[in-house]
Amino acid sequence: MNHFIQIVKSDFKNYLRYSVLQTVLVLSILFSVSMAFFPQINPLILVYITVFILPVVILSISVYIETEEESLFPLAVCECSSIEIIFAKLCSALLMLLIPLILYIIVMFTVLHMNYNIFLFILIYLLSATIHIIIGFVLAITSKSSNLMSISYIGYIVIFSVMPIFYQQGLIPEFFQYALIISPAYLSGILFETVIVGYIHTPNWLIVLAVLLQFVYIFVFTFFVIRPYFKSYLLFRIDQKGEQQEK
């Protein structure tokens, strides 16, 4: 438990020092104001950007900061397990993402007078944010260099995060949904729309599939990619940083 608290504290110190927390706060306020005063903007688009793209960006920044700060070594050699480290980092990122969640709910209910199940909305928000943070870890672990990691993040955001948003806005042909079914962002979008718009617009089998696939992704990525390879990845990043300093 002590390791968990120390990792969360360290993450927030870095978030504050490198203005990540301040940036999330500013974006949350900006998006909330846009929801309130620009009704032509679909509020779900801003929610999608927050939970599909922001977690991946936060994770990439976190990895970069820890590499530059040379704070990876204590994590690589600590007695805590990879799962405990991941869980701590996941919690620190989710705590920061509660800022936009709270502001969005306030605006949706007090200004936009939207009526939906707030409990389900929060659960879907946290599930979507969680899987995208996990995906951020997977992209980091599977990348052999900082440049490749940056390309992986950009590629994922464009293909698997932005494309589902375009589809749900009617900018992509209907048949394309069958290709998007593998996208966690698309699956989350189905659940968000089901809660906000209503169950009658979405087949029951698609709702069940959207929930199950996201939990399957989280389980598979966590126990078959992150758990066995995370500490090896940390040591690899440490060696890579050392080689760069020698040059």
Give me the pLDDT at residue 141, please.
77
What residue spans define the domains of the chain?
2-246
Q: What percent of the chain has pLDDT over 90?
A: 35
User: Residue 68: which pLDDT band, with cuts at 50, 70 and 90?
Assistant: low
Q: Following CA atoms 77, 90, 18, 29 in sequence, which dihedral angle do they give, to the nearest 10 degrees?
A: -170
pLDDT tens per residue across span 184-223: 988 998 899 889 887 656 788 888 999 999 999 999 999 8
pTM check: above 0.75: yes
Give me the pLDDT at residue 212, please.
95
Higher pLDDT residue, 111 or 3?
Answer: 111
Contacts of 87 (CB under 8 A, 6+ apart): 4
**Does residue 130 carry a pLDDT above 90?**
yes
Q: Which of 219-227's residues contact partners 24+ apart within 8 Å by CB, and which partners?
A: 221/134, 221/135, 221/137, 221/138, 222/83, 222/86, 222/134, 225/138, 225/141, 225/142, 226/82, 226/86, 226/134, 226/137, 226/138, 226/141, 227/81, 227/82, 227/83, 227/86
User: Residue 161: which pLDDT band, with cuts at 50, 70 and 90?
Assistant: confident
Give me the pLDDT at residue 144, please.
67
Higher pLDDT residue, 186 or 59?
Answer: 186
pLDDT tens per residue across span 75-112: 655 667 778 888 888 999 999 999 999 999 999 999 99
Instruction: Classify 115 as helix, strand or coil.
Output: coil
Q: What is the average pLDDT across 43-68? A: 82
